[in-house]
Protein backbone atom coordinates (compact mmCIF):
# COMPACT_ATOMS: atom_id res chain seq x y z
CA UNK A 1 0.00 0.00 0.00
CA UNK A 2 1.29 3.50 -0.86
CA UNK A 3 2.18 6.04 1.82
CA UNK A 4 -0.24 8.92 2.26
CA UNK A 5 0.97 11.99 0.35
CA UNK A 6 0.69 15.59 1.54
CA UNK A 7 -1.95 16.24 -1.14
CA UNK A 8 -3.99 13.21 -0.07
CA UNK A 9 -3.74 14.20 3.59
CA UNK A 10 -4.99 17.67 2.68
CA UNK A 11 -8.04 16.07 1.06
CA UNK A 12 -8.72 14.04 4.21
CA UNK A 13 -8.39 17.26 6.24
CA UNK A 14 -11.07 18.87 4.07
CA UNK A 15 -13.24 15.77 4.25
CA UNK A 16 -13.36 15.58 8.06
CA UNK A 17 -13.75 19.35 8.41
CA UNK A 18 -16.77 19.31 6.11
CA UNK A 19 -18.22 16.19 7.76
CA UNK A 20 -17.62 17.00 11.43
CA UNK A 21 -16.09 20.47 11.73
CA UNK A 22 -12.85 18.94 13.01
CA UNK A 23 -9.57 20.66 12.11
CA UNK A 24 -6.71 18.16 11.76
CA UNK A 25 -3.23 19.61 12.15
CA UNK A 26 -0.28 18.42 10.05
CA UNK A 27 0.86 16.42 13.09
CA UNK A 28 -2.16 14.10 12.57
CA UNK A 29 -0.94 12.80 9.21
CA UNK A 30 0.38 9.52 10.64
CA UNK A 31 -2.78 9.11 12.76
CA UNK A 32 -4.96 9.39 9.63
CA UNK A 33 -2.82 6.88 7.77
CA UNK A 34 -2.90 4.45 10.68
CA UNK A 35 -6.65 4.63 11.23
CA UNK A 36 -7.51 4.19 7.55
CA UNK A 37 -4.93 1.57 6.53
CA UNK A 38 -7.03 -1.44 7.54
CA UNK A 39 -10.12 0.07 5.93
CA UNK A 40 -8.31 0.35 2.60
CA UNK A 41 -7.62 -3.40 2.75
CA UNK A 42 -11.24 -4.13 3.65
CA UNK A 43 -12.45 -2.09 0.69
CA UNK A 44 -10.02 -3.76 -1.70
CA UNK A 45 -8.25 -0.55 -2.70
CA UNK A 46 -4.48 -0.21 -2.91
CA UNK A 47 -3.84 3.47 -2.18
CA UNK A 48 -5.17 6.44 -0.24
CA UNK A 49 -5.88 8.13 -3.55
CA UNK A 50 -8.12 5.22 -4.58
CA UNK A 51 -9.91 5.42 -1.23
CA UNK A 52 -10.50 9.15 -1.66
CA UNK A 53 -12.07 8.49 -5.05
CA UNK A 54 -14.26 5.86 -3.41
CA UNK A 55 -15.39 8.34 -0.74
CA UNK A 56 -16.37 10.90 -3.35
CA UNK A 57 -18.51 8.43 -5.30
CA UNK A 58 -22.20 9.24 -5.50
CA UNK A 59 -23.25 5.92 -3.91
CA UNK A 60 -20.83 5.89 -0.98
CA UNK A 61 -22.70 7.61 1.85
CA UNK A 62 -22.21 4.55 4.07
CA UNK A 63 -18.46 4.54 3.44
CA UNK A 64 -18.24 8.25 4.21
CA UNK A 65 -19.88 7.55 7.58
CA UNK A 66 -17.34 4.78 8.26
CA UNK A 67 -14.44 7.10 7.38
CA UNK A 68 -15.91 9.78 9.65
CA UNK A 69 -16.17 7.25 12.48
CA UNK A 70 -12.53 6.24 12.02
CA UNK A 71 -11.22 9.80 11.94
CA UNK A 72 -13.10 11.20 14.93
CA UNK A 73 -11.38 10.91 18.29
CA UNK A 74 -13.15 8.70 20.86
CA UNK A 75 -11.08 9.00 24.04
CA UNK A 76 -13.03 9.04 27.29
CA UNK A 77 -13.43 7.32 30.64
CA UNK A 78 -15.80 7.18 33.60
CA UNK A 79 -15.99 10.20 35.95
CA UNK A 80 -13.44 12.19 33.96
CA UNK A 81 -12.78 15.52 35.76
CA UNK A 82 -14.51 14.42 39.01
CA UNK A 83 -15.27 17.95 40.26
CA UNK A 84 -17.78 18.33 37.43
CA UNK A 85 -19.73 15.38 38.80
CA UNK A 86 -19.56 16.79 42.32
CA UNK A 87 -20.98 20.03 40.90
CA UNK A 88 -23.74 18.09 39.12
CA UNK A 89 -24.78 16.38 42.36
CA UNK A 90 -24.79 19.67 44.29
CA UNK A 91 -26.74 21.41 41.54
CA UNK A 92 -29.38 18.70 41.39
CA UNK A 93 -29.90 18.95 45.14
CA UNK A 94 -30.16 22.75 44.99
CA UNK A 95 -32.76 22.90 42.22
CA UNK A 96 -36.34 22.62 43.53
CA UNK A 97 -38.00 19.41 42.43
CA UNK A 98 -40.98 19.66 40.13
CA UNK A 99 -43.06 17.49 37.84
CA UNK A 100 -40.69 17.74 34.89
CA UNK A 101 -37.50 15.66 34.77
CA UNK A 102 -34.06 17.16 35.30
CA UNK A 103 -32.42 16.76 31.87
CA UNK A 104 -28.72 16.43 31.01
CA UNK A 105 -27.03 16.05 27.62
CA UNK A 106 -23.63 14.40 27.21
CA UNK A 107 -22.69 15.91 23.84
CA UNK A 108 -20.00 14.20 21.77
CA UNK A 109 -19.73 11.71 24.62
CA UNK A 110 -18.12 8.90 22.61
CA UNK A 111 -18.72 5.37 23.93
CA UNK A 112 -21.03 6.36 26.77
CA UNK A 113 -18.84 6.49 29.86
CA UNK A 114 -19.71 10.12 30.48
CA UNK A 115 -23.46 9.63 30.01
CA UNK A 116 -23.54 6.65 32.38
CA UNK A 117 -21.45 8.58 34.93
CA UNK A 118 -24.04 11.37 34.79
CA UNK A 119 -26.89 8.88 35.19
CA UNK A 120 -25.27 7.31 38.26
CA UNK A 121 -24.96 10.72 39.90
CA UNK A 122 -28.54 11.71 39.10
CA UNK A 123 -29.94 8.44 40.41
CA UNK A 124 -27.85 8.69 43.59
CA UNK A 125 -28.35 12.39 44.35
CA UNK A 126 -31.85 12.91 43.01
CA UNK A 127 -33.83 11.51 45.91
CA UNK A 128 -36.24 9.80 43.54
CA UNK A 129 -36.95 12.87 41.37
CA UNK A 130 -37.34 12.18 37.63
CA UNK A 131 -34.32 12.66 35.37
CA UNK A 132 -33.35 12.09 31.75
CA UNK A 133 -29.93 11.70 30.14
CA UNK A 134 -29.14 11.82 26.44
CA UNK A 135 -25.70 10.81 25.20
CA UNK A 136 -24.66 11.59 21.66
CA UNK A 137 -21.78 11.29 19.23
CA UNK A 138 -21.20 11.81 15.52
CA UNK A 139 -20.01 8.20 15.18
CA UNK A 140 -22.69 5.56 14.64
CA UNK A 141 -20.18 2.91 15.68
CA UNK A 142 -19.48 4.33 19.12
CA UNK A 143 -23.15 5.13 19.73
CA UNK A 144 -23.93 1.42 19.30
CA UNK A 145 -21.14 0.55 21.74
CA UNK A 146 -22.54 3.05 24.23
CA UNK A 147 -25.99 1.48 24.06
CA UNK A 148 -24.53 -1.89 25.01
CA UNK A 149 -22.96 -0.46 28.18
CA UNK A 150 -20.32 -3.19 28.20
CA UNK A 151 -16.75 -2.17 29.07
CA UNK A 152 -13.33 -3.54 29.91
CA UNK A 153 -12.71 -3.23 33.64
CA UNK A 154 -9.54 -1.33 32.76
CA UNK A 155 -11.80 1.53 31.61
CA UNK A 156 -13.88 1.60 34.79
CA UNK A 157 -11.29 2.47 37.43
CA UNK A 158 -12.76 5.94 38.01
CA UNK A 159 -16.18 4.64 39.11
CA UNK A 160 -16.71 5.19 42.88
CA UNK A 161 -17.17 1.98 44.83
CA UNK A 162 -20.79 2.75 45.82
CA UNK A 163 -21.74 3.15 42.16
CA UNK A 164 -19.92 -0.04 41.19
CA UNK A 165 -21.97 -1.99 43.73
CA UNK A 166 -25.28 -0.38 42.79
CA UNK A 167 -25.12 0.03 39.02
CA UNK A 168 -22.52 -2.35 37.58
CA UNK A 169 -22.31 -6.09 36.98
CA UNK A 170 -18.92 -7.80 37.03
CA UNK A 171 -18.32 -10.28 34.22
CA UNK A 172 -17.70 -13.93 35.05
CA UNK A 173 -16.38 -16.85 33.00
CA UNK A 174 -16.08 -15.80 29.36
CA UNK A 175 -16.99 -12.23 30.39
CA UNK A 176 -14.24 -11.99 33.03
CA UNK A 177 -12.40 -8.71 32.84
CA UNK A 178 -15.49 -6.81 31.74
CA UNK A 179 -18.25 -4.79 33.36
CA UNK A 180 -21.86 -4.27 32.29
CA UNK A 181 -23.98 -1.29 33.32
CA UNK A 182 -27.00 -2.84 34.98
CA UNK A 183 -30.14 -2.90 32.86
CA UNK A 184 -32.24 -0.61 35.07
CA UNK A 185 -29.82 2.29 34.57
CA UNK A 186 -28.79 1.39 31.03
CA UNK A 187 -32.33 1.54 29.67
CA UNK A 188 -32.88 5.00 31.14
CA UNK A 189 -30.07 6.59 29.12
CA UNK A 190 -30.88 7.43 25.51
CA UNK A 191 -28.10 7.48 22.93
CA UNK A 192 -28.38 9.27 19.61
CA UNK A 193 -26.13 9.94 16.65
CA UNK A 194 -25.81 13.74 16.46
CA UNK A 195 -23.40 15.88 14.44
CA UNK A 196 -22.71 19.10 16.35
CA UNK A 197 -21.61 20.70 13.10
CA UNK A 198 -25.14 20.46 11.67
CA UNK A 199 -28.58 21.65 12.71
CA UNK A 200 -29.52 19.88 15.94
CA UNK A 201 -32.58 17.62 16.17
CA UNK A 202 -35.38 18.54 18.55
CA UNK A 203 -33.80 17.17 21.73
CA UNK A 204 -33.94 20.05 24.23
CA UNK A 205 -34.29 21.81 26.47
CA UNK A 206 -31.65 20.72 29.00
CA UNK A 207 -30.76 21.82 32.52
CA UNK A 208 -27.10 20.84 32.12
CA UNK A 209 -25.01 20.17 29.01
CA UNK A 210 -21.61 18.49 29.09
CA UNK A 211 -19.61 19.70 26.06
CA UNK A 212 -16.22 18.60 27.27
CA UNK A 213 -12.99 18.08 25.35
CA UNK A 214 -14.80 18.72 22.07
CA UNK A 215 -14.10 22.34 21.21
CA UNK A 216 -10.34 21.74 21.06
CA UNK A 217 -10.84 19.94 17.74
CA UNK A 218 -12.64 22.89 16.07
CA UNK A 219 -11.38 26.08 14.50
CA UNK A 220 -12.60 29.42 15.90
CA UNK A 221 -15.61 29.84 13.62
CA UNK A 222 -16.77 26.25 14.09
CA UNK A 223 -16.48 26.68 17.88
CA UNK A 224 -18.76 29.72 17.73
CA UNK A 225 -21.36 27.92 15.62
CA UNK A 226 -21.33 24.78 17.77
CA UNK A 227 -21.65 26.69 21.05
CA UNK A 228 -24.47 28.80 19.59
CA UNK A 229 -26.37 25.64 18.62
CA UNK A 230 -25.80 24.03 22.00
CA UNK A 231 -26.91 27.12 23.92
CA UNK A 232 -30.11 27.06 21.88
CA UNK A 233 -31.16 23.88 23.72
CA UNK A 234 -29.92 24.94 27.18
CA UNK A 235 -32.62 26.26 29.51
CA UNK A 236 -32.30 29.82 30.85
CA UNK A 237 -30.49 29.38 34.15
CA UNK A 238 -28.93 26.12 32.92
CA UNK A 239 -25.28 25.12 33.10
CA UNK A 240 -22.69 24.35 30.40
CA UNK A 241 -19.59 22.33 31.29
CA UNK A 242 -16.53 22.27 29.03
CA UNK A 243 -13.11 20.61 29.38
CA UNK A 244 -10.49 22.12 31.68
CA UNK A 245 -8.13 22.55 28.72
CA UNK A 246 -10.76 24.53 26.79
CA UNK A 247 -11.85 28.17 26.82
CA UNK A 248 -14.88 30.14 25.68
CA UNK A 249 -12.88 33.36 25.34
CA UNK A 250 -13.73 34.81 21.95
CA UNK A 251 -16.37 32.12 21.43
CA UNK A 252 -19.37 33.52 23.33
CA UNK A 253 -20.13 36.21 25.90
CA UNK A 254 -23.61 34.86 26.60
CA UNK A 255 -22.60 32.85 29.68
CA UNK A 256 -21.61 33.62 33.25
CA UNK A 257 -18.45 31.82 34.47
CA UNK A 258 -19.05 30.08 37.81
CA UNK A 259 -16.05 27.80 38.35
CA UNK A 260 -13.24 26.32 36.24
CA UNK A 261 -14.89 25.10 32.99
CA UNK A 262 -18.43 25.66 34.39
CA UNK A 263 -20.71 28.35 32.98
CA UNK A 264 -24.31 29.40 33.51
CA UNK A 265 -26.81 30.74 31.00
CA UNK A 266 -28.51 33.81 32.50
CA UNK A 267 -32.06 33.10 33.75
CB-based contact 221:251 (threshold 8 Å)? no
From 35, 129, 147, 225, the catalytic residue: 35
- Supply the DSSP symbol for 109: -
26 contacts: CB under 8 Å, gap ≥ 6: 9
Annotated active-site residue 207? The verdict is: no
Instruction: Respond yes or no: is residue 199 known to be catalytic.
Output: no
Note the Cα 60 to chain centre separation in Å: 25
Total number of residues shown for the chain: 267
d(CA 85, CA 97): 19
According to DSSP H, which parts of the chain are helical? Answer: 6-20, 29-43, 48-55, 61-71, 82-94, 113-125, 140-148, 161-167, 183-186, 220-231
Q: Of 69, 80, 103, 137, which residue is the catalytic one? A: 137
Beta bridge partner(s), residue 151: 179
Q: How far apart are CA 179 and CA 185, in angstroms?
A: 14
Alpha-carbon gap, residue 131 to 123, rounded angstroms: 8
| Residues annotated as part of the active site | 35, 137
Amino acid sequence: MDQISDAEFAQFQRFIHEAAGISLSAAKKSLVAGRLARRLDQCGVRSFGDYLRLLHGAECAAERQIATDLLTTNETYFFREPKHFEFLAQTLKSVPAGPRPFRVWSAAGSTGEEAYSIAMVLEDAGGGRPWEVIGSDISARVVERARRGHYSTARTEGIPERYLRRHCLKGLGEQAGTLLIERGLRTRVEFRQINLNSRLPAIGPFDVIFLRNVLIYFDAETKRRVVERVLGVLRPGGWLLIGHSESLTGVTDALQPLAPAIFRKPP
